[in-house]
Amino acid sequence: MKLWRLHPSDTQLEDTQIFQDICDALSDGKLVAIPTETVYGLAADATNGKACASIYEAKGRPSFNPLISHIDSLEAAQTHAFFDDRALKLAEAFWPGPLTLVLPKRPTSPVSDLAVAGLETIALRVPRSDVMRALCKHTGRPLAAPSANLSGRISGTTAEDVINDLKDHLSYLIDSGATSVGVESTIVSLVGKRPTLLRPGGLAREDIEAVLGETLVRAGTDDSAPMAPGMLTSHYAPNSHIRLNAEDVAEGEALITFGANLPKGSDKAAKLVPLSDSEDLTEAAARLFTALRQADLGENGKIAVMPIPHHGLGEAINDRLARAAAPRD
Ligand code: AMP
Ligand code: MG
């Protein structure tokens, strides 16, 4: 891991060699810890599924929460999501700043399925941090960045916190001292009928309500409010019935494969959808949501999934598959 210490008086960051090197590392799918005004972010190219998988791997997250994509401007944000009048008002009032907007994702957005956990919505934020915005702009990519800490630990607000938790996973750490806001961004969803507070954070609810001219519903408290963050991972599920740890395949089933040793009956499968032929769990995680969608045969369809090992990212993959296979009402 290489360390870049920034000082408040530093300007023209883009002209330095290390800035260029960090852009190259991000474009190459590497992980970089970047300070924002809220907390330090563990950043990777949001359009690269494998890079996003390595975020979950580094954090040791046992499930795939969708990630916030950071961009450098409202204009860039509009290429990824549909903005209605409320979204425009909030973005104009509070960006750059500690507000994340959850919006309908444009089908043309290149943000990976894993970054949005297979959802048709996307969480976007233009941060106040100059270096984060400059990196988004110069790489030309949205950067997915959850807090730079191990899963279950508190969010890192200093470079020392980040080093303690993640140093072996990072190619660069940008140190600009303690973050100014110190708590995560406020997350507002504009996907349902009523604007909904998904997570309180660095921007006060009252400030948001003043601009919107209406109150924010708390997640999950109202039929018109989208689900709370913890419930999100159970949101997307294929229509087909799912059978896990399949040791054989029945005629007409779609088979999600892992590794090259296919089970009995594979030749009769309706389709084969590989997660990773080389048994690489990072690749499998990156492909998971796309694979579920591709394997889906509709209402009376059946999907069989080969066993996935439980170690490393396998835990999160199996968690997601178990949710997808759980009986629904
Ligand atoms: P963080 O842990 O700071 O990366 O914040 C991630 C949180 O943002 C998730 O747990 C969700 O609450 C929210 N979020 C991110 N992406 C989406 C999305 N596509 N749809 C709805 N909520 C999202
Ligand atoms: Mg966090």
Q: Is 187 in the pocket of ligand 1 (CB under 6 A)?
A: yes
Candidate of 67, 109, 186, 235 to mutate for ligand 1, largest count of ligand atoms within 8 Å of Cβ: 67
Please report the DSSP string for 36-69 in residue order. Answer: -SSSEEEEEETT-HHHHHHHHHHHT-SS----EE
Q: Name the residue with the closest Cα to ligand 1, atom 10.
A: 229
pLDDT of residue 220: 67
10 and 114 in a single domain? The answer is yes
Å from CA of 152 to ligand 2 middle: 8
Residues in CB range of 273: below 8 A, 6 or more apart: 254, 255, 256, 257, 291, 294, 295
Per the structure, the count of domains in the chain is: 2
Rounded Cα gap, residues 141 and 76, in angstroms:
9
Cβ count near 134 (within 10 Å): 16
pLDDT of residue 237: 77
- Would you give the DSSP letter of residue 258? E
Å from CA of 89 to ligand 1 middle: 21
pLDDT of residue 323: 87
Please report the DSSP string for 114-155 in residue order. Answer: TTTTT-SEEEEE--S-HHHHHHHHHHTS-EE--BSS-TTSPP
Å from CA of 248 to ligand 1 middle: 36
149 and 270 in a single domain? The answer is no
16 and 145 in a single domain? The answer is yes
Å from CA of 303 to ligand 2 middle: 33
Q: Is 122 in the pocket of ligand 1 (CB under 6 A)?
A: yes
Q: Is 146 in the pocket of ligand 1 (CB under 6 A)?
A: yes
Helices (H) and strands (E) in the chain, counts: 9, 15
207-226 tens-digit pLDDT: 999 999 999 998 866 554 45
Domain final residue pick, 138, 157, 180: 180
**Would 77 be classed as within a structural domain?**
yes
pLDDT of residue 329: 55
Q: Which domain holds residue 306?
A: 241-325
Q: To the nearest whole number, what is the mean pLDDT of the chain?
A: 93
Q: Is 220 in the pocket of ligand 1 (CB under 6 A)?
A: no
Rounded Cα gap, residues 295 and 210, in angstroms:
45
Mean pLDDT calculated for residue range 2-18: 93
Q: Is 174 in the pocket of ligand 1 (CB under 6 A)?
A: no
**Would 201 be classed as within a structural domain?**
no
Rg of the chain (C-alpha set): 20
User: Closest Cα partner for 296 from 233, 236, 245?
Assistant: 236
Q: Tokens 């080389």 identify what position?
A: 278
